[in-house]
Amino acid sequence: MTVFDTGDEALDAQDSPRTSVRLADDRELIYFDDEPGHDRSAPDRRPLPPRRPRSELRLDPVMGEWVVMAAHRQDRTHLPAQSECPLCPSADGRHSEIPAADYHVATFENRFPSLGGPPAGGRCEVVCFTSDHDSSFSLLPDRRLETVARAWTDRTAELNRRPDTEYVFVFENRGVEIGTTLHHPHGQIYAYPFVPARTARALEMARGHRAEQGSCLFCSIVAAERAAERVVARSDRFVAFVPAAARWPYEVHIYPYRHVTGLPELEPDERFELMVLYRDVLRRFDRLFDAPAPYIAHFQQAPARTDPGLAHLSIRVFTPRRAEGKLKYLAASESGAGAFISDILPEDAARRLREAR
């Protein structure tokens, strides 16, 4: 098990600038820089047509869950060659989604959004962690971790203020095995106009626990897991563990010890500490197998308006790879019945991740 001492490494967010510009079709792009002094005024010279998101929401009357219809995404960019990557900086006459010749972190409205427009509402943003096409989140240096955390926090706070936002979902994926369509290191942020079903169910459980026990469900889980054999790594203020009822072969949850409901409630040094622990977990995933692990990671935060005090910030990350050359697929039990069957005991998964140093 690794114990981190971040000391004075956390950096003051006020020293790092934020620059908002507009792309050729009037989408917003925001540069978050590691340090001041960078010119981000390069214009977007592409002749882009007007952007008209055509998503709509439909309610499943049986499950009571919202489904997003976004048929226009069938034509989105799919696994382009590096020379055509839309997330690399613009250079040598080739214009991408990022007009600058280089950048640190950039967020922008998705050109092919799942949400947005009058029928559906909401907003979808892309978050690029680095201009290096061949890098990954697990390879980011400390300074960049702070910048990414600041960008995620900024966007969470701003999107939560939108009148059509009910829930901000920050996530990142890697690997064609889980459906990524761009290789460049990036994540996304969805500002849903509804509270997604899984989050709503978790809040329902938390509401029942508070009514019965008078305490936070998630704080109780953290208190129990801190002493369990499923802990993978910890820092002064955060713990990473494999949950007792893990659904995926290798699944890790990262929680703060104190009760905070989202990224905006963390101090800058806490955000940095969380990013260091998250990076460590991703590196452990990569050391499990001969090839880098595909994964999905997301933040659980409070809804914009619905019982925000019930939520407890966490990062959830999992890989569908269960063994070398083998993936866990969602078969009939998972996809049809919603009952997960795990191929690996959580205690064994935690032990392997602890040893992957």
d(CA 352, CA 75): 41
How many whole angstroms separate alpha carbon 138 and alpha carbon 347?
A: 24
Q: Which residues contact 76 (CB under 8 A, 6 or more apart)?
A: 111, 112, 181
Q: Which residues have CB under 8 Å from 208's CB, separation 6+?
A: none
88 annotated binding-site participant: yes
Contacts of 311 (CB under 8 A, 6+ apart): 203, 206, 218, 261, 262, 300, 301, 302, 303
**Residue 300, phi then psi, degrees to nearest 5:** -100, 120
Give me the catalytic one of 186, 209, 298, 312. 186
Using CA of residue 283, residue 268, residue 218, residue 68, what is the dihedral sign? negative
| Type of residue found at 294 | P
Output the six-digit token pair for 121: 């509402």
Residue 133 annotated as part of some ligand binding site: yes
CB contact at 8 A, 310 and 323 = no
* Distance (Å, whole) CA 188 – CA 87: 13
Establish whether 85 is an annotated binding residue. yes
Kind plus residue range of the DSSP H or E element containing 277: helix 268-288
Q: Which of these, 125, 183, 138, lies nearest to 286 by C-alpha position?
A: 138
Alpha helices in 124-234 (DSSP H): 142-160, 197-213, 217-225
Q: Which residues pair with 254 in a beta bridge?
A: 240, 315
What CA–CA distance (Å, rounded) separates 157 from 202? 22
- CA–CA distance, 75 with 80 (Å, rounded to integer): 13
Could you report how far apart the first and last alpha carbons of the chain are, in Å? Answer: 8
Whether 72 is catalytic: no
Tell me the torsion sign for CA atoms 110, 111, 113, 119: positive
- Give the residue numbers marked as catalytic: 186
Q: Which residues are annotated as a binding site for Zn(2+)?
A: 85, 88, 133, 184
